[in-house]
């Protein structure tokens, strides 16, 4: 029997241990490597060829969306299944499946078979509706607000943002309040995290 070769990348040890334990017991699957960061995964892939990469999109060092783009550029035939706690992600090409971390292992196994054996994509039931909502949310951010988000991500202060955009400090503060309200966040860290998934910053 030809086994489905898997590489799993996730920075949550409990999740890695659980998924590895289940998939290693499948007769038709073989786990080539379990890694906790994208950089090590890229190094491993240089000399190993899995059938499927299972990865999260929220990881340290390298954003998962950027990781996927690099993978698809370097290994266009490698199938990718994203398993994440986030229901909404920036729409992008390249993934072959998307599941939530709350998904049961039976559905995970089903998704792997769909992607590799049937050569079909597999997404959780509400994926499309969730991303329609995401697209709507993206549109409510104005061009100026997007510029400010990008500058906040570069760690510029309110005064520096005002100088860069040739607007007053008060105007920047007003924009920031509106951005926080629209994206439903209450800190700069939360803003940057959500901005990455919405595609405002890379």
Residue 31: phi and psi, rounded to 5, are -90, 115
Tens-place pLDDT, residues 127-177: 554 454 445 455 668 889 889 999 998 889 999 999 999 999 999 998 898
Q: Does domain 140-198 have CATH number 3.20.20.140?
A: no
How much is the pLDDT for 61? 66
8 A C-beta contact, residue 52 and residue 111:
no
How much is the pLDDT for 190? 82
How much is the pLDDT for 198? 73
Measured over the CA atoms of residue 143, residue 68, residue 59 and residue 38, the dihedral's sign is: negative
CATH class, domain 4-128, is alpha beta
Which regions of the chain are under pLDDT 70? 1, 58-61, 63-65, 86-93, 125-140, 202
- Domain boundaries of the chain, sorted by first residue: 4-128, 140-198
How much is the pLDDT for 132? 47
């Amino acid at each position: 029997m030809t086994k489905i070769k898997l590489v799993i990348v996730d920075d949550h040890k409990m999740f890695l241990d659980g998924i590895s334990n289940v998939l290693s017991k499948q007769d038709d699957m073989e786990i080539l490597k379990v890694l906790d960061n994208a950089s090590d995964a890229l190094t491993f892939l240089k000399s190993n060829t899995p059938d499927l990469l299972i990865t999260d999109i929220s990881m340290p060092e390298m954003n998962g969306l950027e990781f996927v783009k690099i993978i698809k550029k370097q290994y266009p035939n490698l199938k990718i299944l994203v398993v994440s706690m986030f229901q909404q992600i920036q729409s992008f090409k390249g993934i072959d499946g998307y599941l939530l971390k709350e998904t049961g292992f039976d559905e995970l196994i089903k998704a792997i078979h769909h992607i590799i054996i049937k050569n079909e994509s597999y997404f959780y039931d509400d994926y499309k509706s969730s991303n329609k909502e995401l697209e709507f949310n993206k549109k409510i951010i104005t061009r100026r607000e997007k510029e400010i988000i990008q500058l906040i991500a570069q760690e510029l202060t309110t005064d520096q943002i005002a100088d860069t955009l040739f607007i007053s400090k008060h105007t920047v503060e007003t924009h920031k309040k509106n951005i926080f309200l629209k994206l439903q966040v209450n800190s700069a860290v939360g803003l940057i995290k959500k901005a990455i998934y919405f595609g405002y910053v890379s």
